[in-house]
Structure 1
C-alpha cells in the first residue's frame, strides 16, 4: 500500500471502525467432546474456528493452524477477540498425529496452543523458519519438520506437501519476512485436501492443481479481505477461481467467523462466497463451528451466520 493508504486503513481500524464487523450476539456453536471425535468415522473434518480445522485421516487426527487463545494478538488484554467459544476444550482433544502450520501471524500461530499441544502431538509441520520458533517455545527439534515450497513429508500414513502462497510473515517490528509462508496439500488414504493458509490470488494455484489435484475438499481463505490488500488476502471471487484452478470438488471457506481482522461486515464473506458458488454451480460447505463434515461426501451446511444470538437447539 502507499503511505496514504496505510494512514487511511490505520485510521479506519483504530478510530473509525465501521459497524457490523463484530456479531451483535453469540454465534451458534456445536459442542464437541473427545468421545465424539474418537467415534467419528475416518475422513471426518471439524472446523474449530478461523483457520483451525481438525481432520481425521487414517484414523488419526491432524490440526491446521491451531489458535485457542481468546485474542489473536501478542497480548491477551488487547487485540481482536473471539466471536465464539471453542467447540471443545483443547485439553479434551485426542492425541494429534500432526499439526500443520501455514505461517507465523498471530491468528495462525498461537504460542499458548503450541505449548499445550506439545505433549499430545507427534509431529509439527511448518514452512522454513517457523519451526525454529516452535523449538524456541520448547517443542523438541526432533518433532519439528520444516519444509520449503514443493517439499513433502510423510507421517502416520499421510503425506503433506508445502506449496506456494502469496503472503508475508512477521510477529514484530524486526522479523518481517524472516520466515516462509505456505499453503498445504494433505493426502491421506482415499482423500485429498488443500489448505490455503493465507494468500492472495496468483498463478501458483494452477500449478498446484496440475501437480496434485483434483482435491476432494479445499479449505480456502475467505475473509479479512479488502481491495487495498488483495495481493495477500483473496477477494471471494478470487477464492472461487483459486478453487477452480486447484481442480477442487467441494469448497469450504475458512479464515472467517472468529476474529475481527478487516473492515467488512463479519458475515459478508459467507454471503458473497455463497452467492458466487451458487452462480458458478460450485459445491459449497459452510458447517457450524464443531459440526462434522464428511470429506468425501460433504453437505452444504446451514446458513448459521444468519442466526446470531441463537443456539444450535434454536436452529431449524
Structure 2
C-alpha cells in the first residue's frame, strides 16, 4: 500500500470518532444534506474531459514563485505577515508565531498514476528547506491537494505542533509524526496557543483519502484571533448558512482566505462558485478577502484564471475589499492592498 494513502481506519478509531455529534450513521456528516451529481452514467465523460480537455485550464508557462526572504518575513514590524504559495497553502507570521496552513508544495496532487494532477509552478518543495521552525501546522482536511505526504515528510523536523480535524491524526502517525505533537479538533473546538485563539469551524465538504474511508475524517476551516488581528481560513466547501453562523459567533475578521476555484455544477455543493465565495466573505464579516484554492492545480474544467477574475468582478460589485498577492510575495496586514493583476502576464 502506498504511504501517500495515509493511515487505515480501525475499529478503535471509529469508536473514538463516533463520540462526535457530527458522526452519524458510520461517518461524518455535513450540517445540511450535501451531494455531488456524479454517477456511473456521467463519470466516463467527466473523466475524459478532466484529462483530455486542457485548453485554458493550465497557464502557458510555469507560474513563478518569489524567493523566500527570511529577514523580511520574520521582521514583522508590529504587524502580521503572510505568504501565499498557490492553491490553499498559506504561511503566517503572527507577531513571531509561525503558522503553516495546508502546506501542499508537491508537484503532483494525485497519488495514483497515470492520473497526475500537475502543479502550475515548478516543484517548490525545496522552499520548505528555507523556512523557519513552524510553531503550528494547521490542516483543513485530508484530501491530497491539502494534506501532502511529501511536504509533511520534508517538514517533519521543523514542526512543533500539528492541529488537525478529527480522524486526520492517523495519517500523520503513519508518516512518523509523533502522536504527542498532534491535536485533533471537532467543529467549534477552541484552543489558545501563544495567546492566539484558534477555533475549528464547520464547512460543507467531505474527507477521506481512499474510497473505503470516505468521510471517516472531518473537514472545516479555522478562525485565528490574536489581540491585534483576526484571520479566517474557510477551508474547502460549498456555500451554506454556516458562514453566517461563523460571522455571528466569531466575526468580524480583519482578513479572510476564502475558497474560490475548482468549482463545477456537478459538485457545486462542496466547492463554491466565485459569487458564492464573495457572499461567504460578507457573511463571515471579513474586512479584506483573498480568493484561494486556485493558481495551483486544475481540478475542474474552468479556465485557470476564471476564479480570480470572476471573484474580483463580484467583490467590486458588492463593495468587498479584496487583495491577490503574487505567489511567494510577503504581505503585511498593515499594507495588504495587492492589486497588481499579475496573472494577466500569463496566457
1:31: which partner in 2? 67
Q: Considering only aligned residues, what root-mean-square deviation do their CA atoms show, in Å? A: 1.7
**Aligned partners of 2:38 and 2:266 also within 8 Å:** no
How many Å separate the matches in 2 of 1:183 and 1:168?
A: 12
1:66: which partner in 2? 103
1:79: which partner in 2? 116
Shift of 1:116: 1.9
Q: Please list, as runs of the form range in 1=range in 2, the aligned pairs for 1:176-187 lying within 5 A after superposition.
A: 176-187=214-225
**Aligned partners of 1:127 and 1:146 also within 8 Å:** yes
What's the TM-score once normalised by structure 1's chain length? 0.93
How many Å separate the matches in 2 of 1:46 and 1:87?
A: 15
How many Å separate the matches in 2 of 1:158 and 1:251?
A: 21
2:94: which partner in 1? 57
How many Å separate the matches in 1 of 2:200 and 2:89?
A: 17
1:313: which partner in 2? none
**Aligned partners of 2:76 and 2:95 also within 8 Å:** no
Shift of 1:245: 0.3
1:209: which partner in 2? 247
How many Å separate the matches in 1 of 2:309 and 2:170?
A: 39
Shift of 1:198: 0.4
The structure 2 residue matched to 1:245, chosen from 283, 292, 302, is 283
What's the TM-score once normalised by structure 2's chain length? 0.85
Whether 1:267 aligns to 2:300 is no
How many Å separate the matches in 1 of 2:46 and 2:244?
A: 32
1:99: which partner in 2? 137
Gaps of 5+ in 1: 310-316
Shift of 1:78: 4.9
How many Å separate the matches in 2 of 1:182 and 1:95?
A: 25
How many Å separate the matches in 2 of 1:133 and 1:102?
A: 14
**Aligned partners of 1:71 and 1:78 also within 8 Å:** no
How many Å separate the matches in 2 of 1:83 and 1:70?
A: 8
Shift of 1:175: 1.1
2:6: which partner in 1? none
**Aligned partners of 1:277 and 1:284 also within 8 Å:** yes
Shift of 1:300: 3.2
Shift of 1:36: 3.2
How many Å separate the matches in 1 of 2:311 and 2:302?
A: 14
Figure out how many residues of one structure are paired with residues of the other and give that number.
308
How many Å separate the matches in 2 of 1:244 and 1:200?
A: 15
**Aligned partners of 2:90 and 2:101 also within 8 Å:** yes
String of CA shifts for 1:140-185, please: whole Å, max 9, x gaps. 1111010000011121222211110000112122111110011111
**Aligned partners of 2:68 and 2:130 also within 8 Å:** no
2:183: which partner in 1? 145
2:237: which partner in 1? 199
181-190 or 194-203: which moved more?
181-190
Gaps of 5+ in 2: 1-36
Q: Please list, as runs of the form range in 1=range in 2, the aligned pairs for 1:154-303 lying within 5 A after superposition.
A: 154-303=192-341
How many Å separate the matches in 1 of 2:163 and 2:148?
A: 15
String of CA shifts for 1:93-130, please: whole Å, max 9, x gaps. 00111011000110000011112222111111100001
- SS at the partner of 1:231? coil
Whether 1:129 aligns to 2:129 is no
**Aligned partners of 2:92 and 2:100 also within 8 Å:** yes
